[in-house]
Structure 1
Amino acid sequence: MRNMNSNAAIMAAIAKGWKPNRYLSNMSMAFFNNNADYVATKIFPICPVQNSTGFYYEFLKGDLARDNVQRKPAFGKVQPAKRGHTDSTYKCDVDQVITGIDSINALDYTRSGVPASIDPRRSSVRFINDQMLLHLDLTFAEKFFKTGVWQNEFTGVDSTPGSNQMLKFTDANFDPIAFFDARKREIRLEGRRTPNKLCLGYDTFLALKKHPDILERVKYGGSTPNPAIVNEKVIAELLGFDEVTVLMATYNKAEEGQPDDMDFICESDGALMCYVTNSPQIDEPSAGYIFTWDMLGNGSYMATDQFEGEPGTHSEFVEGLMSTDMRKTCDDLACYMSKCV
């Protein structure tokens, strides 16, 4: 019997018009988002909680900021100072995503040694993970990064800005240094903290990146081998923030069966400046928190699991579970800017 897999047989088949159809093992086209582009868990601190619902204390700012020290009367004492508090609630709901695997069809992949990129179990886990991160960013955009969320809000206009308005960042007359310094002063006055983070929609970042005032401040710092570059770090240093984050993750807005409609998850012409803590703190305010509940008790609020389908279906399923509550916790520590470009 002739060996059809010998080099001679393969060369003869190619000469007759046959084309090899083996899949490449070192590349594939998969439009997963870069995990580094997802930002929901990078902006506001994550606060693990033991119960899915509960309360947290809010100490009254007015009592803490008031001078309660009085002159002691002779042979007497002053009245005790009030240090009031209220409470707020959180509620972590459980979200789920499931994808299926046909166990019989999967046998062809496992037995033929196909590249790992198309292995149904591996790609299913990657799909589930990407879906959960995508959902977190969409929730972040809905909870924090849009108009109507924060009390302190500015809207970009083309000329003559009025109350709670600003010139668009694309206007050469817009003064980014003065504008952000003024907003930081307001937040410092009301919230007793200076904003340390600035989150920029993608088009807002591009507008600041090429604004004449910013370019003027960096152009003399470059040379031929090391040209001046405006990036997130440079903008953070110029505007006085610890961190500048560009929100560049994208998603498909179209329903299944409809043509793809790609867009940025967060408003591309928006911006959010805020003060947040790096981790949950007992005696420190923060503009927002992400409360997370470990629903399975395995130490993670984002978990994946695999289970078999009903008998006779020869199917397997991979699921993703997560339980969070993204909560605005202090209006005084944030300012949202819309229509920046």
Structure 2
Amino acid sequence: MNPRSTTAGLQAQIAKGWRPNNYLTNMSMAYFANPGDFVAPCIFPICPVELSSSYYYKFDKADLARDNVRRKPAYGKVAPAIFGQTDDTYKCEVDQVIVGIDQISTLNYQRSRAPGVADPRRAKVRFATEQMLLHQDIIFARNFFHAGVWGQEWSGVAATPSGSQFLKFSDANFDPVHFFDERIRDIKQSGRRTPNRLALGYDAYLGLKEHPDILERIKYTGTTANPAKVTPAVLAQLFGVEQVKVLESTYNAAGLGQGEDMQFICDTKGALLCYATPSPAIDEPSAGYIFTWDMLGNGAHVAFDQFDGEKGTHTEFVEGLMSTDMRKTADDLAMYFKDCV
């Protein structure tokens, strides 16, 4: 018999501070997402605003791009050039999530010396934080990443493309580098900026990653120790953009009480090529903006608070608040591709 399992052995362990039925404090099965999977802040710039809703200027592209310089007549002057402007609006709504903490059951964790992953407060603060990130990606997908949003839209087909169609990324006859070179040229011509970001749905990324033309272009770039492989950074170099972002965030599409229905948030077969300024600017266009309002006046568009519940309930709550408006601001600086695979 194991001496540690005898009465005397158990008493000796208890005397040394052993506690039965303790939870592990160095691991848990918490399905929090990889923070790098979330996409919303990676594509379009965040623009903090002082008012929850207001206006912003839009200068007329046709006037800016037109040659308004004329030969000066003798003893006279040319007519003033037209420099038109309009305005558009944004409106930041406030979204909220609240999660409760039972103060009585929390005592078990405190008294069992179970810090870290087992700490209910820490876990629920992280839960509220991830809820904010998840919600932002869902708004991003709804406002930017699906068919019918952008004026310039292309469709993948299985054969004989025409007009605004292309062979699917998964077709060996598709020429990805030439195709994106042409689309970058189109946006440069119509929008006066060279696209710098390409967002890929997960299956669209896999289609490009496994495409024989791309594999052929990189096959001599590896070594035995580090074989060549297609990554978002490699695709960015091949297509001539600053960033290729794979849209990997997932969510449970089922309601409370239903069986889970795990899905990717963004259309896995879609892609978005666009120009976005790195930061808000008064003299620079951007295909989209994420307007954010500090609804509590503390400079943060995502804010958290903790407060006690009603007396007698022995509860406290963690609150997350967010106020944003993700808005398409320049339709000619983006192009959406649907049914890529």
Whether the 8 Å contact between 2:25 and 2:118 is mirrored in structure 1 is no
Matched, 1:79 2:79: yes
Secondary structure in 1 aligned to 2:220? helix
Deviations 1:137-158 (A, max 9, x none): 0000000000000000011110
- Partner in structure 1 of residue 9 of structure 2: 8
Whether the 8 Å contact between 2:22 and 2:112 is mirrored in structure 1 is no
1:148-159 correspondence to structure 2 within 5 Å: 148-159=148-159
Q: CA separation of 1:86/1:6 partners in 2, compared to 1, >3 Å: closer, same or farther?
A: farther
- Partner in structure 2 of residue 66 of structure 1: 66
Q: 1:309 deviation in Å?
A: 0.8
Deviations 1:283-305 (A, max 9, x none): 01000000000111112100100
Whether the 8 Å contact between 2:302 and 2:320 is mirrored in structure 1 is yes
Distance in 2 (alpha carbons) for counterparts of 1:337 and 1:225 = 36
Q: 1:10 deviation in Å?
A: 6.3
Q: 1:312 deviation in Å?
A: 1.4
Distance in 1 (alpha carbons) for counterparts of 2:129 and 2:249 = 15
Whether the 8 Å contact between 1:24 and 1:115 is mirrored in structure 2 is no
Q: Deviation above 6 Å: which 4+ runs of structure 1?
A: 4-7, 10-13
Distance in 1 (alpha carbons) for counterparts of 2:96 and 2:71 = 60
Whether the 8 Å contact between 1:23 and 1:115 is mirrored in structure 2 is no
Deviations 1:164-222 (A, max 9, x none): 11110000000001111111111111000110000001111111011011000000112
Distance in 2 (alpha carbons) for counterparts of 1:314 and 1:50 = 38
Whether the 8 Å contact between 1:200 and 1:270 is mirrored in structure 2 is yes
- Partner in structure 2 of residue 239 of structure 1: 239
Matched, 1:90 2:65: no
Distance in 1 (alpha carbons) for counterparts of 2:334 and 2:25 = 48
TM-score normalized with structure 1 length: 0.95
- Partner in structure 2 of residue 185 of structure 1: 185
Secondary structure in 2 aligned to 1:281? coil
Whether the 8 Å contact between 1:271 and 1:338 is mirrored in structure 2 is yes
Give structure 2 stretches of 5+ with no counterpart.
Answer: none
Secondary structure in 1 aligned to 2:104? helix
Secondary structure in 1 aligned to 2:97? strand
Q: 1:22 deviation in Å?
A: 2.2
Q: 1:7 deviation in Å?
A: 7.4
Give structure 1 stretches of 5+ with no counterpart.
Answer: 14-18
- Partner in structure 2 of residue 219 of structure 1: 219
Give the residue type in structure 1 aligned to 2:89: T
Give the residue type in structure 1 aligned to 2:247: L
- Partner in structure 2 of residue 16 of structure 1: none
Deviations 1:99-127 (A, max 9, x none): 01111121222122123212111111000
Matched, 1:251 2:279: no
Give the residue type in structure 2 aligned to 1:176: P
Matched, 1:321 2:292: no
Distance in 1 (alpha carbons) for counterparts of 2:91 and 2:135 = 17
Give the residue type in structure 2 aligned to 1:253: A
Distance in 1 (alpha carbons) for counterparts of 2:118 and 2:37 = 24
Secondary structure in 2 aligned to 1:220? coil
- Partner in structure 2 of residue 169 of structure 1: 169
Whether the 8 Å contact between 2:200 and 2:272 is mirrored in structure 1 is yes
Distance in 2 (alpha carbons) for counterparts of 1:6 and 1:47 = 67
Q: CA separation of 1:255/1:10 partners in 2, compared to 1, >3 Å: closer, same or farther?
A: farther
Matched, 1:305 2:299: no
Secondary structure in 2 aligned to 1:292? strand
- Partner in structure 2 of residue 133 of structure 1: 133
Q: How many residue pairs are counted as aligned between the two chains?
A: 333
Structure 1 vs Structure 2 CA RMSD:
1.8
Q: CA separation of 1:260/1:270 partners in 2, compared to 1, >3 Å: closer, same or farther?
A: same
- Partner in structure 1 of residue 208 of structure 2: 208
Identity of aligned residues (%): 62
- Partner in structure 2 of residue 21 of structure 1: 21
Q: 1:226 deviation in Å?
A: 2.0
TM-score normalized with structure 2 length: 0.95
Give the residue type in structure 2 aligned to 1:312: G
Whether the 8 Å contact between 2:221 and 2:228 is mirrored in structure 1 is yes
Give the residue type in structure 2 aligned to 1:65: A
- Partner in structure 2 of residue 42 of structure 1: 42
Secondary structure in 2 aligned to 1:221? coil
Q: CA separation of 1:70/1:257 partners in 2, compared to 1, >3 Å: closer, same or farther?
A: same
Give the residue type in structure 2 aligned to 1:177: V
- Partner in structure 2 of residue 339 of structure 1: 339
Give the residue type in structure 2 aligned to 1:110: Q
